[in-house]
Amino acid sequence: MLAKEVTIHGFVTVGNSSTSFAIDDYKVTRDNVLTFELSGAEGVQPSTFRAEDIRVGTELEVKGEYDDASGQLTAKSIRVLLGDAQRLKRTALLKQIPALPRNGLGWEGEVRADGETIRLLPATLVAIKPSKSEQKKQKGAASPESSPLTPLDALNLDTFVRYEGIHTTEGKIIATRVEFEHGKLEPGEAKLWKRLEPDVKAPDYSNFIPGQFKMHDCVYGFCEQEIVPSKEAQEYIARIRESLIPAHQKELPADDPLKIPFRFFLVKAKSFNAVAYPNGVVLVHSGVFDILQNEAQLAFVLAHEISHAVEKHAWEARQEEDNKDGMSSNDPVVSQTYPI
């Protein structure tokens, strides 16, 4: 099939390098000699934007040749919307517990999340928002308003941070507002996990008979899959998975509601894909081995899927849909998996 000319506009969702990144389902590549057009760069000098400044969250308009079969978009021109790329608004899980000394004016220090260094200045608005479960234990539980962060508010590695700020040319983010929220497995999220529990029949490895994977809440067309009948391949995927699960997740007690029971299945499919469900179920298509060249590349793909579950991307998206459309947590699941 011949490539077709397309124009896409969106935010970088996966940043492999300055010459290879993704915008939603489009895998974009660009030649090193391709220059950028700059737009919306009010107050930002063009010389301050470098190729390595392309990262998750950068807003781009890309024109080029798109191959439907591979999902590959070869860029012919790239326009960078610097105004929005410099001003960020994101949510991510803390990567480490920050040290935030407080002086008379406010909090100062750095927060690590989402692969970014977020710098807090005394003028930064810093607050903590109780989860829905915590709200119910407090008076005025109906009010989700945040309260100022105090030294008594313990931040841990199950804490999410919502931050707004400006990307600097040094690669750090100067935060104008930071809001922490302790992670909890909300009742609606727990129900979603149960609804996405698959029926699994293990392969007969000795006779090379594929196993069966069946997901009742079916999305992306991955309702039923054959599990590759190779014990060696399944154990290989499992070994890499274990090396990539965050240490904090591994250390959670088995009965902790926040512990994600990761289960990876190598399934028979020619496409280059992997799909993550919020309850830790991940399908890895056998077609990835036709594209990937080494274990490091495979680890990147698997780590990407693990991050979707740990960062609660599907549940966050579900919450946003509920708020936007007035849906209830009992409505049918519209989008709960994340493919690469």
pLDDT of residue 334: 36
pLDDT of residue 1: 52
DSSP letters spanning 118-175: EEE-TTSEEEE---HHHHHTSTTTT----EE--TTS---TTEEEEEEEEE-TTS-EEE
CB of 88 closer than 8 Å to CB of 57: yes
Q: Which helix (H) or strand (E) segment is 178 a member of?
A: strand 173-182
Single-letter amino acid code for the residue at 263: R
Within 10 A of 96 (CB to CB), how many other CB atoms are there?
12
**CATH code, 4-85:** 2.40.50.320
pLDDT of residue 2: 66
pLDDT of residue 324: 58
Domain-by-domain residue ranges, the chain?
Answer: 4-85, 94-182, 187-339
Query: In 3-state terms, what secondary structure has residue 82?
Result: helix
CB of 229 closer than 8 Å to CB of 203: yes
pLDDT of residue 268: 96
CB of 28 closer than 8 Å to CB of 87: no
**DSSP-H helix ranges across 170-312:** 187-195, 231-244, 247-251, 288-291, 295-310
Single-letter amino acid code for the residue at 141: A
Within 10 A of 58 (CB to CB), how many other CB atoms are there?
22
Cβ contacts of residue 288 below 8 Å, gap of 6+?
Answer: 272, 273, 274, 298, 301
Cβ contacts of residue 154 below 8 Å, gap of 6+?
Answer: none
CB of 57 closer than 8 Å to CB of 85: yes
Single-letter amino acid code for the residue at 77: S
Distance CA 211, CA 142 (A): 47
Distance CA 212, CA 225 (A): 6
pLDDT of residue 232: 97
pLDDT of residue 145: 63
Distance CA 163, CA 88 (A): 8
Within 10 A of 334 (CB to CB), how many other CB atoms are there?
11
Alpha carbon dihedral 276, 278, 281, 284, in 10-degree steps, equals: 0
pTM value surpassing 0.75:
no
Single-letter amino acid code for the residue at 202: A
Q: Which helix (H) or strand (E) segment is 285 a member of?
A: strand 281-285
pLDDT of residue 332: 36
CB of 200 closer than 8 Å to CB of 340: no
Structure tokens at 340: 């690469």
Burial of 45 (0-12, 13-18, 19+ CB in 10 A): exposed
Within 10 A of 305 (CB to CB), how many other CB atoms are there?
26
pLDDT of residue 301: 94
Tens digit of pLDDT at every position of the chain (340 positions): 567 899 998 888 887 787 888 888 899 999 888 878 877 644 444 444 667 777 777 788 999 999 888 889 999 999 887 654 467 788 888 888 888 888 777 888 899 887 788 988 888 888 888 766 666 665 554 445 677 777 656 788 888 898 988 776 567 788 888 999 888 888 888 998 998 999 999 999 999 999 999 987 775 556 899 999 999 999 999 999 999 999 989 999 999 999 999 999 999 999 899 999 999 999 999 999 999 999 999 999 999 999 999 988 887 777 766 665 554 444 433 334 555 6
Nearest to 240 by CA among 287, 291, 305: 305
Nearest to 220 by CA among 23, 25, 11, 4: 25
pLDDT of residue 121: 85
Q: Find the length of the chain.
A: 340
